[in-house]
C-alpha cells in the first residue's frame, strides 16, 4: 500500500483503495505495537508507532490527491524512511518465524 502511494502518478490520483487498506491496517498495527511494548521490543514499537501515524495521515487525507498533495505524502514517507524500515522489519519477522525456538532454561 505504501509502495502504491509512492509510485502513483497522474493529474488527480484516487487513493480511496489505499485509504481503505490503511484503515484496515491500523487496528492490526495497534495490536502488534502493544505486543511489542509488552515484549520489551522498543525499536519495533517505535517503528509501528511511526507507521500508525502515517496510516492515519493516509486515512484522513482527501480521497483524490493532486500531484502536490501526493508529493507531500511521499516526502513524509521518505523523511521517515518508512518503506525501507517496513521492508527490513518484514524480513526480520520472517526470520523469527522460521528460526528454531530457543531452548528454555530449566532449573
User: What ranges do the domains of the chain cover?
Assistant: 12-98
For position 55, what pLDDT does the model report?
92
Total length of the chain: 107
Q: Whose CA is closest to 54, among 18, 87, 89?
A: 18
Q: Band the pLDDT of 7: cuts 50, 70, 90.
A: confident
Class of residue 47 by CB neighbours under 10 A (exposed 0-12, middle 13-18, buried 19+): buried
- State residue 107's pLDDT score: 61
pLDDT at 28: 94
d(CA 103, CA 40) in angstroms, rounded, equals 20
The C-alpha cell of 105 is what? 532454561
Q: Is the pLDDT of residue 106 over 80?
A: no
pTM of this structure: 0.76
> Three-class SS of residue 1?
coil
Residue 27 contacts by C-beta under 8 Å, 6 or more apart in sequence? none
pLDDT at 3 over 70: yes
The arithmetic mean of pLDDT across residues 62-91, rounded, is: 85
Q: Write the pLDDT tens digit of every residue in 17-75.
A: 999 999 999 999 999 999 999 999 998 899 999 999 989 989 999 999 998 888 888 88
Between strands 64-65 and 13-14, the pairing is: antiparallel
Rounded Cα distance, 88 and 93, in Å: 9
Amino acid at each position: 500500500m505504501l509502495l502504491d502511494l509512492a509510485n502513483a502518478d497522474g493529474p488527480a490520483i484516487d487513493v480511496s483503495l489505499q485509504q481503505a487498506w490503511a484503515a484496515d491496517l491500523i487496528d492490526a498495527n495497534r495490536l502488534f505495537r502493544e505486543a511489542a511494548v509488552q515484549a520489551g521490543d522498543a525499536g519495533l514499537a517505535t517503528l509501528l508507532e511511526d507507521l500508525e501515524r502515517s496510516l492515519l495521515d493516509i486515512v484522513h487525507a482527501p480521497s483524490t490527491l493532486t500531484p502536490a498533495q501526493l508529493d507531500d505524502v511521499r516526502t513524509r514517507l521518505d523523511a521517515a524512511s518508512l518503506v525501507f524500515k517496513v521492508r527490513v522489519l518484514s524480513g526480520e519477522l520472517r526470520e523469527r518465524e522460521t528460526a528454531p525456538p530457543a531452548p528454555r532454561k530449566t532449573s
